[in-house]
Protein backbone atom coordinates (compact mmCIF):
# COMPACT_ATOMS: atom_id res chain seq x y z
CA UNK A 1 0.00 0.00 0.00
CA UNK A 2 2.91 2.38 0.67
CA UNK A 3 4.12 2.04 -2.92
CA UNK A 4 0.71 2.94 -4.33
CA UNK A 5 0.40 5.90 -1.98
CA UNK A 6 3.85 7.20 -2.93
CA UNK A 7 3.11 6.79 -6.64
CA UNK A 8 -0.22 8.61 -6.38
CA UNK A 9 1.38 11.37 -4.30
CA UNK A 10 4.14 11.78 -6.87
CA UNK A 11 1.64 11.90 -9.73
CA UNK A 12 -0.57 14.39 -7.91
CA UNK A 13 2.43 16.55 -7.04
CA UNK A 14 3.67 16.54 -10.63
CA UNK A 15 0.18 17.39 -11.89
CA UNK A 16 -0.14 20.26 -9.42
CA UNK A 17 3.28 21.65 -10.31
CA UNK A 18 2.70 21.38 -14.06
CA UNK A 19 -0.91 22.59 -13.99
CA UNK A 20 0.18 26.23 -13.96
CA UNK A 21 1.59 25.74 -17.46
CA UNK A 22 -0.87 23.31 -19.07
CA UNK A 23 -3.98 22.83 -16.93
CA UNK A 24 -6.18 21.08 -19.49
CA UNK A 25 -3.51 18.57 -20.48
CA UNK A 26 -2.82 17.71 -16.85
CA UNK A 27 -6.52 17.11 -16.16
CA UNK A 28 -6.75 14.64 -19.03
CA UNK A 29 -3.48 12.92 -18.13
CA UNK A 30 -4.39 12.57 -14.47
CA UNK A 31 -7.71 10.90 -15.30
CA UNK A 32 -6.04 8.45 -17.66
CA UNK A 33 -3.31 7.67 -15.12
CA UNK A 34 -5.73 6.98 -12.25
CA UNK A 35 -8.33 5.22 -14.42
CA UNK A 36 -6.09 2.62 -16.05
CA UNK A 37 -3.37 0.21 -15.03
CA UNK A 38 -1.15 0.89 -18.04
CA UNK A 39 -1.21 4.37 -19.56
CA UNK A 40 1.56 3.76 -22.09
CA UNK A 41 0.81 3.52 -25.80
CA UNK A 42 2.45 4.63 -29.03
CA UNK A 43 0.14 6.36 -31.49
CA UNK A 44 0.58 6.65 -35.25
CA UNK A 45 -1.27 8.40 -38.03
CA UNK A 46 -1.53 11.60 -39.95
CA UNK A 47 -3.87 14.55 -40.00
CA UNK A 48 -6.67 14.37 -37.46
CA UNK A 49 -6.83 10.53 -37.11
CA UNK A 50 -4.49 8.44 -34.92
CA UNK A 51 -4.32 4.71 -34.08
CA UNK A 52 -2.56 3.54 -30.90
CA UNK A 53 -0.91 0.31 -29.77
CA UNK A 54 -3.31 0.00 -26.79
CA UNK A 55 -6.31 -0.53 -29.12
CA UNK A 56 -7.39 3.12 -29.15
CA UNK A 57 -8.08 5.23 -32.16
CA UNK A 58 -9.07 8.88 -32.04
CA UNK A 59 -9.72 12.00 -34.09
CA UNK A 60 -9.12 15.60 -33.15
CA UNK A 61 -11.24 18.44 -34.51
CA UNK A 62 -10.35 21.91 -33.22
CA UNK A 63 -10.64 21.83 -29.43
CA UNK A 64 -12.35 18.40 -29.27
CA UNK A 65 -11.07 14.81 -29.36
CA UNK A 66 -13.22 11.71 -29.88
CA UNK A 67 -12.02 8.12 -29.56
CA UNK A 68 -12.75 4.43 -29.15
CA UNK A 69 -10.73 1.59 -27.62
CA UNK A 70 -11.32 -1.75 -29.34
CA UNK A 71 -9.75 -3.70 -26.45
CA UNK A 72 -12.01 -2.26 -23.74
CA UNK A 73 -15.08 -1.26 -25.76
CA UNK A 74 -14.93 2.26 -24.27
CA UNK A 75 -15.92 5.32 -26.29
CA UNK A 76 -14.55 8.62 -25.03
CA UNK A 77 -14.18 12.28 -25.83
CA UNK A 78 -13.11 15.63 -24.45
CA UNK A 79 -13.36 19.32 -25.30
CA UNK A 80 -11.75 22.47 -23.97
CA UNK A 81 -13.48 25.84 -23.85
CA UNK A 82 -11.45 28.67 -22.36
CA UNK A 83 -10.09 27.47 -19.01
CA UNK A 84 -12.42 24.49 -18.66
CA UNK A 85 -12.16 20.97 -20.05
CA UNK A 86 -15.07 18.52 -20.26
CA UNK A 87 -15.01 14.82 -20.99
CA UNK A 88 -16.95 11.60 -21.07
CA UNK A 89 -16.40 7.87 -21.37
CA UNK A 90 -18.92 5.08 -21.80
CA UNK A 91 -19.07 1.38 -22.53
CA UNK A 92 -20.66 -1.81 -21.25
CA UNK A 93 -19.43 -1.13 -17.71
CA UNK A 94 -21.16 2.25 -17.35
CA UNK A 95 -20.26 5.84 -18.04
CA UNK A 96 -18.24 8.71 -16.56
CA UNK A 97 -18.47 12.45 -17.12
CA UNK A 98 -15.87 14.92 -15.85
CA UNK A 99 -15.02 18.61 -15.84
CA UNK A 100 -11.88 20.50 -14.83
CA UNK A 101 -11.46 24.27 -14.62
CA UNK A 102 -8.38 26.39 -13.99
CA UNK A 103 -8.82 29.97 -12.78
CA UNK A 104 -6.38 32.40 -11.19
CA UNK A 105 -3.78 29.79 -10.25
CA UNK A 106 -6.27 27.26 -8.86
CA UNK A 107 -7.79 24.20 -10.50
CA UNK A 108 -10.87 22.24 -9.53
CA UNK A 109 -13.05 19.60 -11.08
CA UNK A 110 -15.65 16.91 -10.67
CA UNK A 111 -16.55 13.54 -12.10
CA UNK A 112 -19.78 11.55 -12.19
CA UNK A 113 -20.01 7.82 -12.87
CA UNK A 114 -22.92 5.43 -13.22
Range of the domain at 19: 2-113
Would you give per-residue pLDDT tens digits along the chain (114 residues)?
A: 343 333 333 333 333 333 333 444 434 444 444 455 556 889 999 999 999 999 999 999 999 999 999 999 999 999 999 999 999 999 988 899 999 998 888 899 989 898
Q: What is the pLDDT of residue 37?
A: 57
Q: What is the pLDDT of residue 81?
A: 93
Tally the domains of the chain: 1
State how far the alpha carbon of 59 is from the alpha carbons of 30, 63, 74, in Å: 20, 11, 15
The values of phi and psi at residue 22, to 5°, are -135, 75
Q: What is the pLDDT of residue 38?
A: 55
Q: Residue 34, Cβ neighbours under 10 Å: how many?
A: 11
Q: What is the pLDDT of residue 50?
A: 95
Amino acid sequence: MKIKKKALTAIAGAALLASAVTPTLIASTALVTFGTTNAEAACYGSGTFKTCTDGSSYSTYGNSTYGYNSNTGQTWGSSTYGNTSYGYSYGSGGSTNWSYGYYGGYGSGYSYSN
